[in-house]
Amino acid sequence: MAIALMLNSFIFADEAEKTTVPPAAQMSINGNVADLDTQETLAGVLITIEGTNRKTHTDLDGNFSFKGLSAGNYELHISYISYKETEVKNIKITNTNKKLDLKLKSE
């Protein structure tokens, strides 16, 4: 009887490990940047998360990604030569990834 109780304890402990919540910092902001008028994607656009040292550039297809983010509100600063600098405020991440399609206006 004692052995059966011990086995049940191990089974319940194993089940508890399987249902643990993953770390909160696994969310992301990703998207694409294109020209507002031509809709052509823009490579090399600098995107910074305000208030942090996190920054990235868009790839050859205009895509970008920030991974490993925690839940919260974010603000992006976007800059590119001969385009107006843009800020995207109040990007709220709760428990899902955020996808953004951004358009820049040429100067």
Q: What is the CATH number of the domain that holds 49?
A: 2.60.40.1120
Answer whether residue 16 is part of any domain.
no
Query: Does residue 92 lie in a domain region?
Result: yes
Q: What is the pLDDT of residue 94?
A: 86
What domain count does the chain have? 1
pLDDT for 23: 55
pLDDT along the chain (107 residues), means of 10: 44 45 72 97 98 97 96 96 96 90 96
Answer yes or no: is 79 within a domain. Answer: yes
The parent domain of residue 50 ranges over 23-104
Q: Give a yes or no: residue 8 inside a domain.
A: no
Tell me whether residue 47 is in a domain. yes
**Which DSSP string corresponds to the chain?**
-HHHHHHHHHHHHHHHHHTPPPPS--EEEEEEEEETTT--B-TT-EEEETTSS-EEE--TTSEEEEEEEPSEEEEEEEE-TTB--EEEEEEEESSS-EEEEEEE-B-
pLDDT at position 11: 46
Specify if 3 maps to a domain: no
